[in-house]
Amino acid sequence: MSGSESAPTRIDTSRPHPARVYDWWLGGKDNYPVDEELARRILAADSTVLRGARANRRFMHRAVRTVAEAGIRQFLDIGTGIPTEPNLHQVA
């Protein structure tokens, strides 16, 4: 391996990850049982979290559509990297 290459990143499925928990709340498929377990525990402690996550996602869809319709053609999606669909570029 040369100096500019890096080893592949290993996904740790033994510990929950916030992005995968969020994915579970959105009904995505890119999460593991450990993520679902934490997502359900958080939901039990705060019943508004699911509604909040989904409202946040709907806001992103509306905002992206609005600016795309206004002529904006470049978007920078700085997110978690979890591909819960539709992705920002699909909405745009």
Q: What is the pLDDT of residues 81-91, one digit of tens each?
A: 677 888 888 88
Does residue 92 contact residue 68 with C-beta atoms inside 8 Å?
yes
**Residues found in the chain:** 92
Residue 4 lies inside a defined structural domain of this protein: no
Residue 3 lies inside a defined structural domain of this protein: no
Q: List, for residues 17-72, the tens digit of each pLDDT value.
A: 999 999 999 999 999 999 999 999 999 999 999 999 999 999 999 999 999 999 99
Does residue 42 contact residue 21 with C-beta atoms inside 8 Å?
yes
Residue 42 lies inside a defined structural domain of this protein: yes
| Overall domain count for the chain | 1
Task: Output phi, psi for 22, to 5 deg.
Answer: -60, -45
Can you say whether residue 81 is alpha, beta or left, with left for phi > 0 and alpha for psi between -120 and 50 degrees? Answer: left
Q: Which domain holds residue 68?
A: 18-91
pTM for this structure?
A: 0.79
Residue 75 lies inside a defined structural domain of this protein: yes
